[in-house]
């Protein structure tokens, strides 16, 4: 599918970019090539092919989410630069 100069200028206006004449011609050829690839894909017979987001079956490889005991609060707060009343003390982000 060959795009015209006006098509490229319309796309550039939608994208809010300015193109000079050399860029218009370069992008006309490149965008036309991309659309040709899409036409080739559209010609492929996909009857009976299930829609998929990934070509390979994926499985969750993360460990089971199980409750485990955590570190004691005093031990965790010992690593904090500032602690107050059993909590981390941080600088105020908004005043």
Give me the pLDDT at residue 4, please. Answer: 94
Average pLDDT, the chain: 91
Q: Give the residue from 9, 3, 13 showing the smallest Cα distance to 24.
A: 9
21 neighbors 14 (Cβ within 8 angstroms)? no
Helix (H) or strand (E) holding 37: helix 21-42
Sequence spans of domains, the chain: 5-42
pTM of the model: 0.50
Q: How do the pLDDT tens digits run along the chain, 95 residues long?
A: 789 999 999 999 999 999 999 999 999 999 999 999 999 999 999 899 888 888 888 787 788 889 999 999 999 999 899 999 999 999 888 87
Fold assignment, 5-42: Histone, subunit A (1.10.20)
């Amino acid at each position: 599918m060959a795009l015209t100069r006006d098509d490229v200028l319309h796309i550039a206006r939608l994208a809010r970019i300015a193109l000079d004449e050399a860029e218009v011609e370069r992008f006309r050829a490149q965008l036309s090539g991309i659309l040709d690839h899409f036409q080739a894909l559209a010609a492929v017979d996909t009857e009976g092919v299930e829609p998929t987001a990934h070509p390979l079956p994926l499985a969750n490889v993360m460990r089971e989410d199980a409750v485990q005991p955590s570190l004691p609060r005093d031990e965790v707060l010992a690593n904090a630069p500032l602690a107050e009343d059993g909590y981390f003390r941080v600088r105020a982000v908004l005043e």
